[in-house]
Structures are given as C-alpha cells and as structure tokens.
C-alpha cells in the first residue's frame, strides 16, 4: 500500500494545519478519483479536522505578532485567558507559539479565538474516523516503554545532529526535551521523564478531542491484541451502518 507525505518537509520549514491540508487534499482527491479510499493516519485532531471540515480563514498581522513577542510568555498567557477564558481548554498554554497565535486572532477579530475555531467551512462532512482507545494504565505503560526504546536506539544522537530547526520542529515532543538536555538544562533522566509526561498529556488531549468529534467511532484495543485483529475490528467498524 503506497504511503504519502512522508519526508516532504525540511526540519527548518514551518508547517501548520492549513499548509498540511494544501498538501494532503489533492492527494486524497486523486486516490478517490481512482476508486480507492484514502486512509488518514495520525493523532493531531486539528490537522485531521482541517481535511474533514475545512479551515475557516483567519487573519494574521506580522506587526502585531512582533509586538506580542515583546511580552513575556506568562504575560501572553494571562492576556489570552482574559480575552478568551475557554482557551485553557482549546490551546496548549505551554506552547508559546500557539498562545501567541491565539492571542493574535483574538485581538484582530475582537472575539474569542475558541469561538472562531468552532466555525468550519463544511459542517457535515462525509467521512468515518476510527479512534483506537486503550485502557489508561496500558497506554501509559506503552508510552513509558516507547520513550525508553527511542532513547536506546539513538534519539539523543539523532536530535544532536538535526541542525537548524523551525519553530514547528523545535516544539515537537521529544525534540524540545532532548534539546534541553543537550544544552545542560537538565539531566537525561529528567528529559526522558519530561517526554513521558508530555506524551501522556498529549494522548489524553487526543482522546478527549476524538471522543467529542461526531464523525469518529471508538475502537477499544488491548495489550496483546495483534495488528491483524485490530485491522479486522477496524474494518467491522468501517462497514457498520452509520448512525444518523
């Protein structure tokens, strides 16, 4: 089965959900035109929704962004929450780039960005999503071991040799924590622990996002379940009648 959009960007290039949609939608249209079903695999809810619902065009102002950069991160968070209290649930407040962009939107549109993110160009898209759901203890154990395995096979050395990173790549879970270790801001054990915590938090946000999306059905999976069994279960979910 052919895979698309792997290794298409340099780590020095910026990316966002809108840019991803520009790359992915033509490929999906081509697959559909050939009588096939495009399968989108990934965990970023906003990126997936950019494909299924379409993004509402939002303004930007480089001058305003530069003014906001003069504030401290904590000042930007405080101002955002003052303008948009719901941002605590919709924005990763530890990601300064997300906070700055959300605040920029609030100021330019003179309304909460959380409200604007509820507006999509397609309100009832035709798609079916499947969300794999693990029991929390099993999921946390897998995350714990996965991070250890990544370090064991050379995560530190790989990140050490990455060179110049875009703001997008620099904020990726794993990259930012190992970079702190490489600049002597923390020990390797602390970096590993921070990656595990950040990944668990991200997984929790993922599950919350996809559970509230109407186009997704949850598929419970468990430790010891083979890939073949997962595929069989996923196909059964896919072929089941849709509930209106």
Alpha-carbon distance of 105 to 59, in angstroms, equals 7
Total structural domains within the chain: 2
By residue range, what is the domain housing residue 111? 62-116
Please tell me whether residue 65 adopts helix, strand or coil conformation: helix
**Which residue ranges in the chain fall short of pLDDT 70?**
116-125, 241-244
Distances (CA, A) of 100 to 44, 120, 154: 19, 21, 33
Does 132 lie in the same domain as 89? no
Query: Are 150 and 193 part of one and the same domain?
Result: yes
Looking at residue 235, what is its pLDDT?
85
How far is 79 from 112, CA to CA, in rounded Å? Answer: 12
Closest CA to 211 of 123, 130, 151: 130
Query: What CATH number corresponds to the domain at position 190?
Result: 1.10.287.890
Residues 6 or more apart whose CB falls under 8 angstroms from that of 70 comprise none
pLDDT at 200: 95
Asked if 130 and 234 touch (Cβ cutoff 8 Å), the reply is yes
CA distance 231 to 46: 25
pLDDT recorded at residue 117: 63
pTM summary value: 0.73
Examine residue 109 and state whether it is found in any structural domain, yes or no: yes
Q: Identify the domain boundary among 116, 141, 156.
A: 116
The predicted pLDDT at position 217 comes to 86
Q: Are residues 168 and 233 in the same domain?
A: yes
Terminal CA-to-CA distance of the chain, rounded, Å?
32
Spell out the residues 6+ positions from residue 162 whose beta carbon is closer than 8 angstroms to its own.
11, 169, 175
85 and 151 share one domain: no
3-class secondary-structure state, position 110: coil
């Amino acid at each position: 089965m052919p895979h698309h959009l792997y290794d298409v960007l340099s780590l020095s290039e910026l990316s966002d959900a809108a840019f991803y949609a520009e790359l992915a939608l033509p490929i999906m249209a081509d697959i559909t035109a050939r009588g096939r079903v495009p399968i989108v695999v990934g965990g970023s809810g906003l990126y997936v929704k950019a494909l299924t619902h379409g993004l509402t065009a939002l303004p930007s102002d480089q001058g305003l962004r530069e003014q906001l950069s003069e504030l401290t991160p904590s000042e930007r968070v405080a101002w955002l929450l003052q303008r948009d209290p719901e941002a605590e649930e919709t924005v990763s407040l530890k990601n300064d780039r997300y906070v700055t962009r959300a605040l920029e939107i609030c100021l330019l549109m003179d309304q909460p960005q959380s409200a604007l993110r509820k507006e999509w160009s397609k309100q009832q898209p035709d798609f079916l999503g499947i969300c794999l759901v693990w029991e929390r203890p099993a999921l946390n154990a897998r995350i714990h071991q996965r991070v250890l395995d990544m370090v064991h096979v050379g995560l530190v050395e790989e990140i050490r040799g990455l060179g110049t990173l875009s703001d997008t790549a620099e904020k990726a879970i794993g990259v930012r924590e190992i970079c702190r270790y490489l600049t002597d801001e923390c020990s390797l054990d602390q970096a590993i622990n921070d990656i595990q915590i950040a990944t668990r938090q991200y997984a929790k946000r993922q599950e919350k996002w996809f559970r509230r999306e109407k186009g997704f059905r949850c598929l419970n999976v468990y430790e010891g379940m083979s890939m073949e069994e997962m595929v069989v279960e996923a196909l059964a979910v896919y072929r089941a009648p849709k509930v209106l």
